[in-house]
A and B are shown apart, each in its own frame.
Chain A
C-alpha cells in the first residue's frame, strides 16, 4: 500500500517569497492534516480537512498561509509571503475517518528553509 506522498522534499527560499507544498494522502483516507514541526519541537497542527471541507484551521496563520484540498484527495499548502520563522518541516498526514482516536499516517515532510 502506498504511503502519504509529499513534495518537494527540500525547499530553500528567501523571505517574502512564496512557496507551495503538495501532499497526496493514502487512497481512501477521508481526513488530511498539515502539521508544522519547528526544529526541536513536536508537530503542531495547522489545518485539518475532512474530505474537501475544513474541520480545524484555528492555528493556521491565515494572513500568509492558505491550504486547499480539491476533490477531497490531494492538497496544497501555500505560504505567501514567507518569514524567517516559517523555517520548519511541513508534515502531511492522513487517516481513514478523522476521529481523534485514529492513528495518523505521515509523509516524510518538506523541509523549508527561509533565508
Chain B
C-alpha cells in the first residue's frame, strides 16, 4: 500500500520568506510518480509539479523548486520569496503503476502574512 506523510500541519511566514514543505512517502513499487498540488480557499486543487521515480534531477520553476531524494523517500517543495497569494493548503501525492489510486498526504496549510 502507498502512504504519504506530511508532518507539518501549518506553516506561517512573512511575505518574501522562503517556505519549505516536507513530504515523505512509502511504496514498494519501483516506478512511481510524485506530485504537489495547491488548494486555495476557492477549493479546487491545482497541479504544481510532478516527478518520476527514475528521474532524481531537482529543478527550479519560477519561485518553486523541489528536492527529490530516493534514499530518504522524501519529496520536499520550496516556495522562494513567498507572496500572500501563496496562502493555501499544499498536498503531496503519490501515484504508482500498480495502484490506480493517487494517494494524498494530509496537507500543509501555508499562511503568508503581509
Contact = CB atoms under 8 A, between A and B. Distances in A.
A100 B100 contact: yes
A106 interface: yes
Contact of A100 (B45, B47, B102, B105): B102
B50 A103 contact: yes
B106 A100 contact: no
Interface in A1-56: 3-4, 40-45, 48, 55-56
A111 B113 CA distance: 27
Contacts of A100: 32-33, 95-97, 99-100, 102
A103 B91 contact: no
B102 A104 contact: yes
**Contact size range, B:** 20 to 34
**Contact size range, A:** 20 to 34
A59 B101 contact: yes
Interface string B3-35: 010000000000000000000000000001101
B40 to A, nearest CB: 10
Contacts, number: 61
B42 interface: yes
Contact of A43 (B46, B52, B91, B100): B91
A31 B35 CA distance: 18
A45 to B, nearest CB: 5
Interface string A55-81: 110110000000000000000000000
Given A3-B44, A48-B100, A100-B95, 13 more contacts: A41-B106, A43-B45, A45-B101, A45-B102, A48-B101, A100-B96, A100-B99, A101-B50, A103-B35, A104-B47, A104-B102, A109-B44, A111-B43
Interface of B: 4, 32-33, 35, 42-47, 50, 52, 91, 93, 95-97, 99-102, 104-107
